[in-house]
A and B are shown apart, each in its own frame.
Chain A
Amino acid sequence: MKPQNSLDKSSKLGSVARWELLLVILIIGVSIVNGRLSPHFWSYAGLMDALAVFLEKGFMVLPMALVLVIGDIDISVASIVALSSVVMAMSYAAGLPMALAVLVALAVGAGCGYFNGVLISRIPGLSAIIVTLAGSSLYRGIAYILLGDQAIGGFPSWYSYLAWGYVGNTSIPFIIVVFILCAVIYWLLLHRTAFGRKVYAMGNNPVAARFSGIPVAKIKQIIFTLNGLMAGMAAVFLTSKLGSSRPNIATGYELEVIAIAVLGGVSPAGGKGSIIGVCLALILMRLLRYGMGLVNVPGQVMLVIIGVVLVCVVMLPNIFGSRRRSWKKIKES
């Protein structure tokens, strides 16, 4: 029993590393192709800006990886972004200093996530997909009730620095620095703490995890709250980028975020995934879109290509895995 277990573990670790290698190869491949197609691709400042363009989604991908690793899903994040943004803008318009309004956005995000977490972890029989589906219309609905068809803007100038500013005189966008910081924190949390090991244990076998004394409900609660908090953070950066807030911002983000996490090797069935993989997937997705944008691939075609790439890449391990297994069977027989 014991040796087999350790064998399983080593092969799992191996598969994670192989996945990341695959992503790196794809990133290099896409970069070479992009460079060939557009003379503007290999520009340091251009690449930095390109990466910064959708990093607010990056903030949402990190905790989403955790949600997926425990075998759950959260499709309310985009609506949480909208609600956080709207409440932040309204509290600023009501006279709150911008710095406090930013904290309000984070608190609203965390609050929504906490609410999801309570329903999912405390009420038996409620699955995450149902709760967050309801949350998705609930939070955006509230945002619409609060602000209607209006937009609120006119934030102080320092606030636009968050999404548009560069560190000192370099061409490194500020948002990239914040993202790297967050990524490191999530990497430590998932791969270097007891909490992270419990998360994997829950994803691999929730029943066994509960019986071995892991506080399953509490960990779920924490993870969903983190997911909401990071959606609040995404709201802060997205609103800074737009310079104004509206209830319809971030529409459809949840699907993109989940897609990137899955591309990064996180299994939606739970138990598998790494923060490094997710970050590589984020870069890969961005470079793919950027390259196509530089050669002006029409929007609908871009969607199709990304869909095809996503399916192909996600299918790879299944094809390899089944082939290797069938080889093994042939050899054994």
Chain B
Amino acid sequence: MRKLITVLFLVVLTLTFFSVSAFAEGYTVGVVVKNVGNPFMDAAGRGAEEACNELGNSFIFQGPPTPTVEGQIEIIENLIAQQVDAICITANDFDALVPVLQKAKRNDIKVVSFDSAVAPAGRDVHVNQANPELIGILQVQTIAEMIDYEGEIAILSAGATMTNQNTWIEYMKEELKNPKYENIELVTIVYGDDLRDKSYNEAMGLFKSYPNLKGIISPTTVGISATAKAITDAGLIGQVKLTGLGLPSEMAEWVHNGACEAFFLWNPIDLGYLASYVAGLLCDGAITGEAGEEFSAGRMGDYTIVEAEDGGTEVLLGPPFRFDISNIDEWKDIY
């Protein structure tokens, strides 16, 4: 029996240790991320907390240990039971969260998806990173400047079936049709499947297959850092230029050694801030999530809700943020 009491005591102790303080004034916003322990998601959480503090709302941060939709459903059920006022979610599945989020909406909970959307039926509004067209165009412009508008370039993407990467690549191809890029040739697109070793090998393969290669665009955080390492290892710094989408914390080393002069990413802190701010406004009734509504989101300025391609409505965060030698040290410790 003594063991039993010890076990119970341990349970009580641990639960008490992690329990939160009483609910503050204002609304309660539950932020559900893809998985915990992910630096990008943690940064989004910090932004969301900042907006909650500004608006006087309580903030709950949750996510499953692994990025599964089943784990997110359990968390949403728990948030419904706690009677939160709004849920901000970055979804692990476009469709599979709709039933549980509809249940949340029946319980008068406002639903905002951000970063990775849920289907329109399950949300009030989506907060999107950035205009996909702009993401594509910026990367082409940057690589073109790096190689003086002349030479062969390649794209090293994530998986061949990734929706967001494929959309950006389409916009890149569109942009390349512009006459000012007439001396640039896109020779191939390869896929590193967001695995470090595979991306690294694909990059090495590019150097072999295309000896005259001048530049690589890698619109994925895993791909760009693997490519930067490949460029460094192959001694091609300065000969093969690199840009794309990357995490400052992973890229700082490669910016300093010159393997990657500049890259982009939206700011996850701002993304979380905007999503959580929108959630607060929805709770207030200041906005309802209809297209055409205008609002002011604290330090981020003014926004308008627009129609999204998936049939719902969305708010666009703005152009992606450019990282280079001038600002990388400020950001590398943040995410």
Contact = CB atoms under 8 A, between A and B. Distances in A.
Q: Do A and B bind each other?
A: yes
Given A148-B161, A290-B78, 12 more contacts: A25-B4, A26-B7, A29-B11, A33-B11, A37-B16, A40-B82, A149-B161, A243-B98, A252-B68, A294-B78, A295-B15, A299-B64
A249 B92 CA distance: 11
Given A26-B8, A292-B18, A309-B11, A249 B70 contact: yes
B96 A303 contact: no
Contact of A249 (B66, B69, B74): B69
A50 interface: yes
B19 interface: yes
B99 A243 contact: yes
9 contacts: A30-B11, A34-B15, A53-B73, A54-B74, A151-B94, A163-B99, A244-B98, A303-B65, A309-B11
Interface string A22-64: 1001100110011001101001001001100110000000000
B36 interface: yes
A276 to B, nearest CB: 19
Contacts of A22: 4
Contacts of A291: 15
A196 interface: no
Contacts of A26: 4, 7-8
Interface residues of A, number: 57
Contacts of A320: 3
A298 interface: yes
Interface residues of B, number: 47
A38 B73 CA distance: 20
Interface stretch (A105-113, A133-141, A178-186, A311-319): A311-319
Interface string B1-41: 00110111011101110111000000000000001110000
A223 B100 CA distance: 34
A297 B13 CA distance: 13
Interface of A: 22, 25-26, 29-30, 33-34, 37-38, 40, 43, 46, 49-50, 53-54, 148-149, 151, 153, 160, 163-164, 238, 241-244, 246, 249-252, 288-303, 305, 308-309, 312-313, 316, 319-320
Contacts, number: 135
Contacts of A149: 159, 161
Contacts of B60: 296
Nearest to A239: B96
B93 A300 contact: no
Given A243-B96, A296-B60, A40 B68 contact: no
Contacts of A252: 66, 68
B15 A296 contact: no
Contacts of B10: 308-309, 312
A160 B99 CA distance: 8
Given A295-B18, A299-B63, A50 B81 contact: yes
A244 B70 contact: no
A243 B71 CA distance: 15
